[in-house]
A and B are shown apart, each in its own frame.
Chain A
Amino acid sequence: MSETLLDRRDAPAPSRPPRPEPPIGLLAELTHRCPLRCTYCSNPIELETRSAELDTETWKRVFTQAAELGVIHVHLSGGEPTARKDIVELTRHAAEVGLYTNLITSGVGVSEDQLDALVEAGCDHIQLSMQGADPEITVAVAGMKGAFERKQAFAEQVVRRGVPLTLNSVIHRQNIHQVPVMIEKAVEFGAKRIEIAHTQYYGWALKNRAQLMPAKADVDRTIEEVKEARERLKGTLVIDAVFPDYYARYPKLCNGGWGTRTLSVTPSGKVLPCHAAETLKHLDFWTVRDHGLADIWYESPAFEAYRGTGWMKEPCRSCERREVDFGGCRCQALALTGDPNATDPACIKSPHHERIGDLARTEASLSTDPGAVTYRNFGAA
């Protein structure tokens, strides 16, 4: 009976119900400020400044509304969420209203006292970003000296306090050879789970794509490495993997379906179906300063824009997979074809598919030039 008792609720929804289901997850981007300068950062090119950030009371109101709306997980993220002075207070409030709190952190600037306070406030789970499996690669990707050592110490502090730890490793050409070592580090650090997430090319990462895109053969190898490790480490480490879609045959479902499973709130309070959606300039994203979260989820035109299949053109409209992947990612369609309503070119039915594959293969074959990657600069934020 065990399998039937464990139907995953966060599996993709099969089709669009008449009224949208309530969301299960909220990504709270508390700030865009961050001590790291990662080459693969998926945040927008234009970051929001500290002075534009929502205040403590507004975030608390958002969390209360999220719990009422049916959100189960809140992901406290950014930027670096612990850069906010009120992070403990926000965590406590989220836990008090019944949300499962997941702190997504770089781990490089969190003191032991701050960690104690977060744990006491009810932090359920911590997700630590890992840019490399050793100091050299970490500094090359994150642009910060000593980051690896600090992350290692932080992981140890989290595990010692009994808080479940996930490592999140974003994979690209700079670190793709380290996937097996990264998995071993997760075991060594005492993490319960690791995400091997190939870079999604949005925001800053899109700018660095030519230096980040891995070769297809390397991607295929990591798929095998993950499969082998998953079997070997069953019961010790959960391994979740996201593979890059430039080499795929079919596109990924946008965040579990546009306006279907999750929503993101930017540091200044704009509410998005996914955290890259601001590139869709033709949509008007309502903010939590002006509207309640339920109102935004159920009533705002931006959330309605790409729900279901009504917006589709051919070849999506008559495709047998139209309710499987819902045409893929709207941001990627816009970025790569210029048309947000087009089929995501990750799909073999897109007229752009071959060109995208060629582009990836060409970029992956470029020699890696440390001088050619552009690190983020938060001086202005």
Chain B
Amino acid sequence: MSGTIDGTSVPKLPRGVRFREDKTRGGYILVGPERIFNIDGVAVEILKRVDGETSLDGIVADLSKVFAASDDVIRPDVEAFFLDLRDKQMLTL
């Protein structure tokens, strides 16, 4: 399952993974089987755009508008984040 990611890849949270607000402690969490990850800052903005329909290109384009930065600056971080989540079984591409 390891492999590449390209602009047309559509990131999706698989069944059994939930991204939600943590009202007790504040902030956001990504929850999977026996796993809880704190999601902060830019990562929250990335995951809010993971809807199972928008491609990597779409997500990067939207983020570069919001953060007023070029695609080239944002894309490597977003890709690395998605690949890391995929290795942890928290995301499909």
- Residue numbers of A with Cβ under 8 A of B are 1-3, 5-10, 21-22, 24, 69-70, 72-73, 98, 100, 102, 124-125, 127, 162-164, 166, 192-193, 234-236, 238, 240
**Which residue from A1, A21, A192 sits with its C-beta under 8 Å from B81?**
A1
- Given the known interface contacts A1-B77, A22-B25, the answer about A240 and B86 at a Cβ–Cβ threshold of 8 Å is no
Does B18 make an interface contact (CB < 8 A)? yes
Does B6 make an interface contact (CB < 8 A)? no
Instruction: Indicate if the CB atoms of B37 and A9 lie closer than 8 Å.
Output: yes
- Residue numbers of B with Cβ under 8 A of A are 1-2, 14-16, 18, 20, 22, 24-25, 29, 31-43, 77, 80-81, 83-89
- B78–chain A nearest beta-carbon distance, Å: 9
Smallest Cβ-Cβ distance to B40: which chain A residue: A5
Instruction: Indicate if the CB atoms of B34 and A124 lie closer than 8 Å.
Output: no
Instruction: Indicate if the CB atoms of A5 and B86 lie closer than 8 Å.
Output: no
Residues of A within 8 A of B77 (CB): 1-2
**Which residue from B1, B2, B16, B38 sits with its C-beta under 8 Å from A164?**
B16
Instruction: Indicate if the CB atoms of A162 and B15 lie closer than 8 Å.
Output: yes
Could you list some 12 contacts between A and B, CB below 8 A? Answer: A2-B80, A2-B83, A7-B37, A8-B35, A8-B37, A10-B36, A21-B25, A22-B24, A69-B24, A124-B16, A192-B89, A236-B1
- Given the known interface contacts A2-B80, A9-B38, the answer about A72 and B33 at a Cβ–Cβ threshold of 8 Å is no
- Given the known interface contacts A100-B18, A100-B31, A164-B16, the answer about A3 and B84 at a Cβ–Cβ threshold of 8 Å is yes
* Bound Cα distance A70, B88 (Å): 24
- A93–chain B nearest beta-carbon distance, Å: 17
Instruction: Indicate if the CB atoms of A2 and B24 lie closer than 8 Å.
Output: no
- B2–chain A nearest beta-carbon distance, Å: 4
**Which residue from B15, B25, B35, B80 sits with its C-beta under 8 Å from A163?**
B15
- B41–chain A nearest beta-carbon distance, Å: 8
Instruction: Indicate if the CB atoms of B36 and A8 lie closer than 8 Å.
Output: yes
* Bound Cα distance A162, B15 (Å): 7
Instruction: Indicate if the CB atoms of B42 and A73 lie closer than 8 Å.
Output: no
- A14–chain B nearest beta-carbon distance, Å: 15
* Bound Cα distance A16, B20 (Å): 27
Residues of B within 8 A of A24 (CB): 36
Smallest Cβ-Cβ distance to B25: which chain A residue: A70
- Given the known interface contacts A22-B24, A164-B14, the answer about A234 and B37 at a Cβ–Cβ threshold of 8 Å is no
Given contacts A1-B77, A2-B80, A163-B16, 11 further A-B contacts (CB under 8 A): A6-B84, A6-B85, A9-B36, A9-B37, A9-B38, A72-B22, A72-B36, A100-B18, A100-B31, A164-B89, A235-B86
Residues of A within 8 A of B42 (CB): 1, 5
- Given the known interface contacts A1-B42, A72-B31, the answer about A6 and B36 at a Cβ–Cβ threshold of 8 Å is no
